[in-house]
Structure formats: C-alpha cells, structure tokens
Structure 1
C-alpha cells in the first residue's frame, strides 16, 4: 500500500510532464503562410531613413508611406489584393537640392513657367498626386508576387495635371516608367510579403528566400529567416540578409538585419525593423549607403 501511495504522486508528475510537453508542442508550432481573408482590409505604414555618401557628397532621404490593402479575392491559394496609397511623405536632400513631398499638405500646382525654373517643385506636384491611387497585386501562399496591374494608369493620372507641352509629358512619363514599373513595385513589396515558408515552423527553424532587384544598382538578396519564439498566434522572426552585386562592372556588398513580428493566422506583418549597410563601387566611385526602415501593419 505504501508503495502504491508513493507511486501515485510520481505517476501524476509523469502525466503532468507529458501533458505539459504536448501543450508546449502545440503552442510552439505554427503554420506560417500568407493567408489573407477575402473582404478583409489591412493597413501598412513604412518609414525609411537613408543616408548616402558618394565622392564626399552626402545625401539623405526620409520617407513615410501608408498603404491600405483590400483582399478582393482568394482562389486556390492565389490572393488578389487592391493596394491604395493613403499617404506619402518624403524629404530628400542631394547636395544643395532639397525636395519635400507631403500628400497631406500638397503644394500649389505649378504653371509651365514655374516648372521651367523649379523642376524639383514639379516632382512634388507629380508625387503628391499618388494619394488615393490604387493598383492590384496577386500573391501566393509564400507571399511571392505573381503580378502587378494598374500601376501604369497611376503614372498617367499623376502626370496628367502637369502644365507642360506634349514632348515634355512624354519624357516625364518615360522616366517615371523606367523607375516605377512592375518589377520595381515587386521590389518594394517583397520585404513584407515574400517571407513565408508555407509550412509548420517552431522556434529555431530557419529558411531562405532569394531575389534580385533591377534599376541603377541591380543587386541580389539572400535572406535567412529564423524563428526566435512563438507567442500564441504571433511568430517572432530574426532576419539576416546578404546583399551582392548582380553585375560584373559594379561591386556591391551589404547586410540587412532586423526582427519581424508576424500574425500566423493571416500572415500580416504586425511590426518590423531593418538596419542596412551597403558599400558599392562603380566606375571607381565609392558609394556608401546606410538605411533604417520600420514597418507596422494592422487589420482594419
């Protein structure tokens, strides 16, 4: 009888440990994928601060962008999202040139004569016209951006109010299309969409994502995502990115690091921050870039 009595607490302790371990296993494993729900609305705000030095000349760009995202459809894992610019604010200083843009406090439209004497002011007029303009993304479960549609119309709408001749309008349109096209938009949105392994993850798990960007400094990015911990439906990730050149004539080396907090139910990035340092050499010119970025997301 005494042995039975002594064994009861021991058996209870063993069962408690088993139950606790089972519960722990359930709470520390989550399916991590992009799983937006049709009809839902989300909002993202992205803040960036970039410092650049080239040939002993320093420049800075500080920007804030707010996007509203409406899930139009979900079929076979493909999620169609309408993205609307709700706010864009930027301060740019390059040598003695300064440009300030604020869609919440737009400047007055410039006349053709004023545009000739103040081309930077014209750029302000153009980008202040992006507020409430929309385009559409299609994404899969891993957050890969399958298509971008509607941005060409945004560009047309942005330049249509300008008081310039047709030749100037065509030149401005061509320049904007070179900088803001489907691939460029994909590059902008990859950091908070194309991050998901689309499988169960637990603390300590890691996976990689790689992509390339175009533009004037084409680069290759390889990002390692590691699960730091899981708290309910929230998954804390640590990101570590290596940045390399994608062209022989340009040398690029850089890193980007920071945490991401993900809602595993939807794939929404609740918060995140990045610190990036990049050194580049092009035609014997050394370029050093330091950037900080923050992102906040919420369901509306």
Structure 2
C-alpha cells in the first residue's frame, strides 16, 4: 500500500493474490475456490481494504505536538457494516526517535447493510484502546497493539441478536524500498 503524509491510503496492491491464497487454503475443489473468492472479494474490495487500513494509519495530528498533548481523529468506515471511530491519541513519550502514543476511543455502528442476501441493522457501541509506536523520521507505524470491544444488538429477519466481539488489532511496520 502507499500511504500519504497524513496517513491516508492512496493505493493498495495484492488483494487478488491475498484472496486466492485465502480461498485455496479453505478447499482444494476449484469450483468452490472460485465461489469462496467471489464471496470474499465483496467483503475485501480495494475500497474496503483502503478504508480499513486508513483507519489504522490516519492517526497523525494536524499540528506539532509535545509530550502530554492529545488530538482526536474521527473515521467513518463502510465495511460490511457501518462503523464510526472517534479516537483520542496522546503523545506519551519520545525515545530514540520513536514516538509512543496512547490510544483511547469509541466505536459506533448504527445503520443497515446487506450481507449474504440478508438485510441487517446494527445498534452497537464499543471501545478501542492501546498503544502505538511511530518512527518520527519516516512517520511509519512501527508497532500498534489495540484492544477492540464491540457490543449491542443487531436485527435480521425480524430477530434481535445480541452481539459481542472482542479482538486485537496488531500492526508491525517497516520501511521497504
């Protein structure tokens, strides 16, 4: 992927190969591989991957900051379901050219979407928290470890569904030429 100076994602590459690899690991039946890849390509389109990656990399402040300063980034995603993140970053420390950021935010998913032919509605809330390390010279996220929790209700086919998800978003980055 190509990242812009403010952390936006300009381009992504290798999605087709990634989908081929995922589908091939699920089955050896070539007709099923094609069906799986087709289903995955809707969930992992170029635009969805760009949005997802941008939510992890568009974290930079619009002004110079010093230790203890905080700034907020609001990101809206439309993956399979709509998600808005409002995340506060605080510069904790700078050591050996690496900035350490504390991350604390909220997640909201309220809206409708369609998946596998079913209309779904979400009313979910959650949090993300953790720490991110950034190389000051290059701006590259070297390491990010965030805990994500999302919970609430979903509706599908007239049924209320209790929803709870916990996960870890881990990024390890390095500069390649």
Taking structure 2 as the reference length, what is the TM-score of the superposition?
0.75
Aligned residues of 2:52 and 2:77 also touching (Cα < 8 A)? no
- For CA contacts below 8 A with separation 6 or more, give which structure has more relative contact order: 1
Counterpart in 1 of 2:70? 206
Q: CA deviation at 1:261?
A: 1.7
What's the CA shift for 1:253? 0.4
Query: Where in structure 1 do 4 or more consecutive aligned residues deviate above 6 Å?
Result: none
Which stretches in structure 2 are left out of the alignment for 5+ residues? 113-120
Structure 2 CA distance, aligned partners of 1:297 and 1:153? 20
Alignment of 1:222-233 (within 5 A): 222-233=86-97
RMSD of aligned C-alpha atoms? 2.7
* Pair 164,297 (structure 1): closer, same or farther in 2 beyond 3 Å: closer
Ranges in structure 1 where 5+ consecutive residues have no aligned partner:
1-136
1:273 corresponds to 2:145: yes
Which whole-Å CA distance do the structure 2 matches of 1:173 and 1:241 have between them?
33
The equivalences for 1:221-300 within 5 A come to 221-247=85-111, 249-283=121-155, 284-298=160-174
Look at both structures and tell me which one has the larger radius of gyration over its CA atoms.
1
Counterpart of 1:8 in structure 2 is none
**Cα distance, 1:142 vs. partner?**
0.8
Query: Bigger CA drift: 233-242 or 197-206?
Result: 197-206
**How many residues are aligned here?**
162
CA contact (8 A) 2:126 2:150 kept: yes
Separation in 2, partners of 1:295, 1:164 = 32
The reply to whether residue 163 of structure 1 matches residue 65 of structure 2 is: no
Instruction: Identify the match of residue 44 of structure 2 among 155, 161, 180.
Output: 180
